[in-house]
Amino acid sequence: MTSFHPGDRVRVRAAEKPGHVRAPDYLKGRSGWISSILGHFPNPEDLAYGLSGMPERTLYRVGFRQSGLWDGYEGPAGDRLYADVYEHWLEPEGEQ
């Protein structure tokens, strides 16, 4: 299932989940945009416990403005960061 498309505004879920997590803390709650769709893969958060990881999850490359990630960011205004984020860690930017 592919819920998002390149250009869509998204936010990384600000959720806490026990165990193996593939969304870094510094991105949680931060907004960005879908840069590209990287493919569909078994969920590594389940594979980590010897489970099947099925159904496959879509992995996206998500872009973020560096100035939106770090307080007092002093680099050029156009600086961006790209991170690979699985579908289940993303929500549309409009939702809480």
Partner 1 sequence: MSGVHDLGGSSGGPVDRSQHEVEDWERLADAINSALGGRGLQTTDQHRRAIESLPNYRDLGYYERWTAATEKLLVEKGILTSEEIDEKADEIERRWSGS
Q: Which residues bind partner 1 (CB under 8 A)?
A: 16-17, 19-21, 23-26, 44, 47-50, 69-70
CB 16 to partner 1: min, Å: 8
Sheet with strand 80-86: strands edge to edge: 80-86, 57-65, 31-41, 9-12, 90-92
Q: Provide the minimum distance between the beta carbon of 7 and partner 1 in the complex, in angstroms, as a whole number.
A: 25
Buried b (16+ CB within 10 A) or exposed e, 50-67: eeebeeebbbbbbbbbeb
- Compare residues 8 and 30 and give the one whose CB is closer to partner 1: 30
Q: Could you tell me the smallest distance in angstroms from the CB atom of residue 6 to partner 1?
A: 24
